Amino acid sequence: MMKEAKLGLDTFEFTGEGEVSQCPAGHAPVKNKTNKKKGRHSAAFSSDVCDECPHAAHCPIQRGKKHHYLRYNDKELRLALRR
């Protein structure tokens, strides 16, 4: 039995500003947040959608109090866009 690989940041789609436009399953985030000073980004996805997603077991999105979140920084984004 082969272990399925975790989905990486490179499987997400981004806008020109480095914000997530959709996840690998094709769902758009409910909101994006960027801290330009620290170079950190956060995309919030609907928990209802993430709970039903077939990719949930391999997705880097983490459950939060109100939504599911994908957090990444500028360096991780640059590496993902290069791949």
Closest CA to 60 of 24, 36, 28: 24
The SS3 assignment for 70 reads: strand
Could you tell me where the beta strands, DSSP code E, fall in the chain? 13-14, 20-22, 31-35, 40-45, 62-63, 68-73
Q: Where are the domains of the chain?
A: 9-82
User: pLDDT of 30-68, one tens digit each?
Assistant: 999 999 999 999 999 999 999 999 999 999 999 999 999
Cα Rg for the chain, rounded, in angstroms? 13
pTM above 0.85, yes or no: yes
What is the Cα–Cα distance from 43 to 19, expressed in whole angstroms? 7
